[in-house]
Structures are given as C-alpha cells and as structure tokens.
Chains A and B, each alone.
Chain A
C-alpha cells in the first residue's frame, strides 16, 4: 500500500533543508505533511494574471467582434474606446507581471523554476509525463505525488502558458505600437514582429488564435486543479492560496 507512492514521494520531496512541517491532527489523517511550495509573490502573481487574462480574453474577443452599435452622437459614447483601453491596461498588467515572474524564477525557490524551465532533458521527466498521461487515461491506478507540478502539467504550463504568453506579449505590443507610431518605444522594440509574421492582419489573427490556446489551457488547468484536489491524496488548490501543499500520506 505504501509502496510505490511513498517511494515516488520520497523521490520528489526533498526532505533536507526545505521548509516543511508536520501537521498533526488535521482532519483525520494522522500523518499529513505540508510543503511550502508557492511563495507569496508567485501566488500574488498567479491571481493577478488570472484577473488580467479574463479581462484580456473578454475585451480581446470584443475587439475583433464588437458589441452591437450604440445610437446617438459619437461624442456621447466611448464603448470601443473603453474596451480597447481595458485591454491595453490589462495587457500592461499581464506583461509586467510576466516580467516579475521571470525575476522570481531567478530569486525564488526551486519550484518557482519549473514554469519557465521544465526539466525537458531528464529521462525522469518524460517517464513521469508518460505515467501521468496513463494515469489520466485510466491506464494505471497508481497516482504519483509531486511537490509542485507533475511533468504533464509542467509541460502544458511551459508550452501553453509561458511560451504562448510570451507570444501574446510580443504580438500584443506590436499591435499596440501601431497606434503609438512606428517611431515610438513600442515601435522600436516590437515593430519587427509585424513583418516577421506577415502583415498587421496576420498579427491580429495569430494574436487571436493565441487567446484561444490560452482559453484551452485555462479550461484544462482549472479542471485539473480541482480534480486533483478531490481525487488525489494531495491538496492542490490550497497551494495557490496559502502556499502549502498537503500530502495525505
């Protein structure tokens, strides 16, 4: 019973100097351990990013397919203007948050490094990924415990969030530079993205496609967070709230 799982646990949880504490008498699991995984800046960043992305996806969708027309004088309304303004403000929040998260990759704990640098060159990572796939396809009953992301989640976060997020920032600021002018700071820094992808219309299309990829990520991510929380023997959602991951051993 305690075989494979606790072995995996021992492998993935460093029992050395990392902040870890025993929680006695919580619920009815006598032996429950908690590891401090996500430090406050990561948690703050996570929820700020969630809010920014909701705003970006909603306003972004409306930029391509605007709301129904309003009547009256043009001077009385600023509907499209506000939609775009909210998009740009959230875009800045998203981008600055992203930069902050990169900074935390450097100064944060070991788990803060998974998002941008999954261990793509380790056999163990890919073995774990295959195992996780099998687990989700109900081909194996043996869950494995990881302190931070499991390899499959890690890869999805790297590809669908980190890389696509970077793509959204580059294409987003390239489009933004079109309004500021080609000699603006944004034009000089991001203007090259437009000819690289074809022309402005292509950048719009790819930026929009990027949104859908991030929406897909969010659907899977939220589902998995709750599913693991309910079905696995480790607390997941709490880790993004108070930072601790609980292992119900």
Chain B
C-alpha cells in the first residue's frame, strides 16, 4: 500500500505535534474554521501521498524562491516533504538522465493521479527551441506530463498569463500554459505568487481536491477580492486623501497611493490580507503603489505610476489623450461648421433678397 502523507512526514522527522500545528495553520490560511482541522488531519492520515511534479519553462524561478520562503518554516518543511521528493529541476537532488527518468516512473506508477505544478511557460516560436530541456522542447514535455496528470497548477503570472517573456513584442511567442493544454488549469498568478497562497493551494488540492475557482480559473479563496478591497489605506481613498507625488506630505501621512498609479483597484490577489515575509509588509505598506503583478499582461498596460493608463496593445495612449483629442477636434469642427453655416446663411439671404423669390 502506498504511504499516506502522514507516513511520509513522520519519516521526514516531523513530530505529531508539529503535524497537528501544521494542520491548524493550514486551515487558518485557507480561511477555514477550526472545524476543518480534524478533516485535514484525517485526510493527511488516510490519503495516499500523491506526488507533485514541478516543471519549469521560461521563467525566473521567483515562484520557487517564494514557495520555499513560506512564512511559517513548518509549513514549508511539511509541504516540501510532500512534494520535493519527486521532481523539481531547481531543488531536487537528482540530475540529468536520472532526473528525467523520474518523470517516466511517475507516469508509470501514478498515471492520472499526480499533480503537475508548472512554473513558467512554453515559447512557441521556432518550434519551441527557446526552451529546450533534456533534448526536447519544453512544450512537448509539458504536454506529455499534462496528459497524465490529475490536476495542473499554473504557478505565477508566467504560467497563468504569460508575464514578462510574453510582454510586447514577445519574440519567443511565449504563451500561458492553458493555451497549449486541453485540460483545466488552476491559475495561481503573481510575480511571484504569495508563498502562503502557494502552500495553501497545494495542501488544499492534496487533501480536499479541486478548490472552487473563479471564471478565469483562479482559486476563489485567495483571488476573489482586489487589493483595494482590503487595503488598510482605503479610508484615505474614500476620504479623497491622496499621495500627489512621492515624498510629499500625504506620503508621510500614509495617504492612498491611487494618484501615483496604485493598481490595487484592478488587481485580484491576497497581498493586503496575507502580506509578505511573515506578514511584515506588502508594497502598499512600504509606500509604493501595487503594480498589478498578478493581472493579465500587467507589463503592457503603460505606466506603473498613473491610474489612467495606456489602452493596450493596439493604442499606446490613454483614453484621455485619445478621447480628449477627439472631443477637442469635434468641438473645433463644430465651431468651424457653425461659422461656415452663418456665413453661408448671410450670403444666401442676401442672394434671396436680390432675386426676391429664390429662398426656400
């Protein structure tokens, strides 16, 4: 019989006490009540351990970096003991053919049962040659593993949306993984995603199965609200108290960063609730607006420091510049037309007077 999660953890030297602590921490981070703790404990004790295979396409490894820094060391220990054993280019011990063999073995042993976590994305240009691993394009590797996986996670904005390598002009034609796979993908966007969110989702997936997703495939428990909805500077927003420029009086008073381009109102993520680095802070807490890193194509939306940003990708100009110009031209045209009409009328009435009967 296959080992349960609990068996594996015990073998990794994790005590029963730590295990129970982990279960309650997980329940909390998932927003579940204390009643769910025994359920998690039970699942961990009885469910056979499912392997997690962690693939890397075009990326910067910030997702892995984030993941292994999960705030509570216990959480990362436990979660790592559940997953790192199998395959993750960056942190596994095996290398070369030995490593690639693990993939084959996993497919053989756990066909249709393992979780495929994908960091980065496949480039399509030049038959995928821009990301080549173990003698095959990453695209092929990804598709093959996805065919046999039970669940597929898209880590970070690369796998979820494309991120920087897919930003205009996207020379390698990098695409988010859901574009090349015909299976549902759980998107965990962010550059990187929040570590507690990552471990939370893995744990939920392994213990309860698929979490509830929103329209775009993001787990609702972490991505159903915007930064703005839970931002501690929100009272200043509603009051109309803004940082007009960095280092002004408003900035010192901790006013809302909307006018210096905060993308909190258009960004779905959990930063304003979970925060970062053991909940020490998050960008807005440090006085800088949110740049919207968990949103689709955030690199291509114009300035990080304006709220009214460029309409992308077709028009590299803001709605106000385009629309304001059009409206001004319209106004000028109306004035010119009115003037021309008045002149014409003056001339026509003069003409009508001389011919007496001409007017209509």
Contacts and interface: CB of A to CB of B under 8 A. Distances in A.
Interface stretch (A30-38, A101-109, A118-126, A202-210): A202-210
Interface string A66-105: 1111110011111111010000000000000000000000
B259 A205 contact: no
A69 B250 contact: yes
B65 interface: no
Interface in B237-261: 237-242, 244, 250, 255, 258-259
Contacts, number: 145
A61 to B, nearest CB: 8
Nearest to B224: A182
A83 B237 CA distance: 11
Contacts of B265: 178, 200
Interface residues of A, number: 53
Instruction: Point out which of B242, B255, B266, B341 has the most chain A C-beta atoms below 10 A from its C-beta.
Output: B266
A132 to B, nearest CB: 13
B263 interface: yes
B301 A201 contact: yes
Contacts of A216: 323, 326-327, 330
Nearest to B268: A200
Given A179-B229, A220-B334, A64 B267 contact: no
B307 A80 contact: no
Interface string B295-319: 1111001000001111110000011
Interface residues of B, number: 58
Contacts of B297: 198-199
B238 A205 contact: no
A212 B241 contact: no
Interface of A: 1, 5, 64-71, 74-81, 83, 136, 138, 141-143, 178-179, 181-183, 191-192, 195, 198-202, 204-206, 208-209, 211-213, 215-216, 219-220, 223, 227, 231, 233
29 contacts: A64-B308, A65-B308, A66-B258, A69-B241, A69-B242, A76-B239, A77-B240, A77-B241, A79-B239, A79-B240, A80-B238, A80-B239, A80-B240, A136-B337, A178-B265, A179-B229, A182-B220, A200-B265, A200-B295, A202-B301, A202-B311, A204-B308, A209-B322, A211-B319, A212-B324, A213-B326, A216-B323, A223-B337, A231-B341
